[in-house]
Amino acid sequence: MTTTLPQSPELCVIGAGVAGALVAKRAAEAGMRVTILDCGPRLDRAEMLERFRQAANQSLMAPYPVVEHAPQPGMPRTDDYLVQKGPDPYDQQYIRAVGGTTWHWGAATWRFIPNDMRIKSLYGVGRDWPIGYDEIEPWYYQAELELGVAGPDDAPFDGPRSQPYPLPAAPLSYLDQVFKNNAEQLGEVVIPAPQARNHSQIWDGRPPCCGNANCMPLCPIGAQYSGNMTVEKAEAAGAELITNAVVHFLEVGDDGRIVAARYLTPQAEEFRIEAERFVLAANGIEGPKIMLMSTQDNAPEGVGNSSDMVGRNLMDHPGSGSRWYSAEPVWPGRGPMILSGLVSMRDGDFRRTTAARKLQPSNFNIVGWVTPEAIDEGLTGEALREQVRYRSTHRMILWGLHEQLPDPSNRIVPSTDKLTDKLGIPRPEIHYRVDDYTWASIREAHRFAERLAELYGADEVEHDTGFSGNNHIMGATIMGEDPGDSVVDGDCRTHDHPNLWISSSSTFPSGSSVNSTLTIAALAVRMADKIVRQARPQ
């Protein structure tokens, strides 16, 4: 039996991460009746901190509860939930709970640069955005205010700005200062990373960072932004939040409008909620999955899928890693985990053949990584103690985020093997391959790391042989002007359904080489403005 909820809001937002929360908050503040559905529970920071400290495996997912009705990819293996069909793994973590994946992020809030949105026109690869940077720039600033972003003034290779960052840039750690000096000797540009974190002042009720060195998987003190903060503001403005509501189907009316969303409770009871408008903000994998599961007479290929593009063009920023020992100590682990970025490889004519990249030194505490290595080598006693100390203070790690082009064969579909979760909902099945455009960039990063390591006095450099996932899930409801080969228009509204918008990095036609959250947030506040204008015409 399906129960229809009595309320019929003006806006139903599916997903209470940063992408949904910003739309809900702004709509509620404008006086709209808003209901938010989230598949998971509310989370408590103190409980999660304690769970992390007690965990034997302090992984990226260690603080987060296992929620059987809303499973999420594990760590380090994601195939306990994601069905990996290859040929390459699409190892992504995300959190299905109120606040979403910004609970475990590094708070990196980079803007795209204008050329990121015109790579087809400029370099003959990928896709252009149907909107230009100028159109999104004011919304970037609005998003930076919402998240409380700290960043540098007039930094080269940062997105052009009409107003300064809301907060001053974070001071660079000693490690980052050494990195900057060395990279600049090689002619590159390093700038402080824009971050949604307070560093020297209270902002928006958040305390200043005191260097807990645990931005990922959980900021213990709430100095950095997480989506639950905006959810709470949305609720304060009057939005209703329904937790543990696992949306699995969107109903399409005869006129093409979305009529209702159906969800299951943890006990598998089905409810439906009717609304005037819907925003799907359920994550870059779960969102397309819901759309593809919603096959019906009025949408035989699924919701929004007349183009057959839903689920396709899945992208990430495949990650590279290089390591060496500095002759002098650099003390990784003092302060926030990422503080700077090498940005001069973000753009250039090389993008015709080779992906853009952003390189960043790791300021992660690595004590727990180097210690088992030293023990496995057979060290004991004083020699072990000194090696742990040496390795923990001298090891440099350089990570790279590499652009990936949209490829329709990289896709997520509901499991074709009928693999389901506890509620009987199909698990996401991933088909994914990283092509040579990206691999060429990874090789460039390795070569650069070797030149850089020489300046540290390093004897040798180790490189990751593969690539790592960066949890930047993009592309699977791609934005474009042509309804024949895209899912949403420049306003992130679906071509097929006039009252359905998608708030997610899944709308990105290109991924740039920088973290995706600020662009998600900018598109979300821009979307909210358009929805409010439609609902409340002046």
Number of residues forming the site for other proteins (CB under 8 A): 55
Q: Is the dihedral of CA 60, 63, 68, 69 positive or negative?
A: negative
**DSSP secondary structure string for all residues of 34-66:** EEEE-SS----HHHHHHHHHH-SS--TTTTSPP
DSSP-derived 3-state class of residue 94: coil
Q: In what order do the strands lie in the sheet with 500-502?
A: 240-242, 34-37, 11-14, 278-280, 500-502
Near other proteins by CB under 8 A: residue from 109, 214, 441, 515: 214
* Piece of the chain touching other proteins by CB under 8 A; list 46-54, 245-253, 297-305, 312-320: 46-54
- Respond yes or no on whether the N-terminal peptide bond of residue 220 is cis (omega within 30° of 0): no
Check: CB of residue 5 under 8 Å from CB of residue 11.
no
**Contacts (CB under 8 A) with other proteins, residues 291-330:** 329
Distance CA 432, CA 450 (A): 29
* Piece of the chain touching other proteins by CB under 8 A; list 92-100, 113-121, 218-226, 479-487: 218-226
Q: In what order do the strands lie in the sheet with 340-342?
A: 190-192, 340-342, 357-361, 395-402, 319-325, 461-463
Q: How far is the CB of 18 from other proteins (least distance, A)?
A: 23
Q: Report H helices in 192-254.
A: 227-236
Give the pair of three-digit tokens for residue 323. 């390591």
* Piece of the chain touching other proteins by CB under 8 A; list 376-384, 415-423, 460-468, 473-481: 376-384
Check: CB of residue 432 under 8 Å from CB of residue 89.
yes
415 touching other proteins, by CB under 8 A:
no
Of the listed 394, 402, 463, 472, which one is catalytic?
472
220 touching other proteins, by CB under 8 A:
yes
Q: How far is the CB of 298 from other proteins (least distance, A)?
A: 50
Near other proteins by CB under 8 A: residue from 65, 74, 130, 211: 211
Distance CA 234, CA 22 (A): 8
Q: How far is the CB of 119 from other proteins (least distance, A)?
A: 36
Give the pair of three-digit tokens for residue 339. 């503080």
53 touching other proteins, by CB under 8 A:
yes
199 touching other proteins, by CB under 8 A:
yes
6 touching other proteins, by CB under 8 A:
no
Distance CA 340, CA 325 (A): 19
User: Among 253, 251, 254, which Cα is nearest to 263's?
Assistant: 251
Is 472 noted as a catalytic residue in this protein?
yes
φ and ψ at residue 11, rounded to 5 degrees: -145, 130
- State which residue, 201 or 416, has the beta carbon closest to other proteins: 201
Q: How far is the CB of 52 from other proteins (least distance, A)?
A: 7
Near other proteins by CB under 8 A: residue from 149, 191, 260, 388: 388
Distance CA 17, CA 34 (A): 15
Q: How far is the CB of 378 from other proteins (least distance, A)?
A: 7
- State which residue, 22 or 218, has the beta carbon closest to other proteins: 218
Give the pair of three-digit tokens for residue 343. 């940005």
Near other proteins by CB under 8 A: residue from 380, 418, 460, 538: 380
Near other proteins by CB under 8 A: residue from 305, 307, 392, 507: 392
What residue has token string 């309804």?
483
* Piece of the chain touching other proteins by CB under 8 A; list 88-96, 212-220, 284-292, 479-487: 212-220
465 touching other proteins, by CB under 8 A:
no
Q: Going by DSSP bridges, is the β-strand pair 258-264/270-274 parallel, antiparallel, or unpaired?
A: antiparallel
Using N-to-C axis directions, what is the helix angle for 517-535 and 133-147, rounded to 10°? 100
- State which residue, 139 or 165, has the beta carbon closest to other proteins: 165
Using N-to-C axis directions, what is the helix angle for 18-29 and 227-236, rounded to 10°? 20
Instruction: Give counts: helices (H), strands (E), the chain.
Output: 11, 20
341 touching other proteins, by CB under 8 A:
no
Give the pair of three-digit tokens for residue 70. 């809303």
* Piece of the chain touching other proteins by CB under 8 A; list 72-80, 268-276, 384-392, 430-438: 384-392
Near other proteins by CB under 8 A: residue from 6, 382, 418, 538: 382
CA atoms within 13 A on the CB side of 37: 33
**Contacts (CB under 8 A) with other proteins, residues 487-516:** none
Beta-carbon neighbour count of residue 120 at 10 Å? Answer: 15
* Piece of the chain touching other proteins by CB under 8 A; list 152-160, 364-372, 397-405, 464-472: 364-372
Cα–Cα–Cα angle for 438, 442, 444, nearest 5°? Answer: 115
372 touching other proteins, by CB under 8 A:
yes
Near other proteins by CB under 8 A: residue from 8, 59, 298, 387: 387
Near other proteins by CB under 8 A: residue from 86, 171, 205, 253: 171
Near other proteins by CB under 8 A: residue from 331, 454, 455, 485: 331
Q: Going by DSSP bridges, is the β-strand pair 258-264/2-4 parallel, antiparallel, or unpaired?
A: unpaired
Near other proteins by CB under 8 A: residue from 42, 240, 276, 390: 390
52 touching other proteins, by CB under 8 A:
yes
335 touching other proteins, by CB under 8 A:
yes
385 touching other proteins, by CB under 8 A:
yes
203 touching other proteins, by CB under 8 A:
no
Using N-to-C axis directions, what is the helix angle for 18-29 and 133-147, rounded to 10°? 90
Q: How far is the CB of 184 from other proteins (least distance, A)?
A: 18
Site string for other proteins, 55-84 (x = CB under 8 A): xxx---------------------------
Near other proteins by CB under 8 A: residue from 95, 213, 492, 524: 213
Distance CA 150, CA 153 (A): 10
Give the pair of three-digit tokens for residue 454. 């020489």
Q: Which of the residues are catalytic?
A: 472
**Binding residues for other proteins, per CB under 8 A?**
49, 52-57, 171-174, 177, 198-200, 208-214, 218, 220-221, 329, 331-336, 363, 365, 367-368, 371-372, 375-376, 378, 380-393
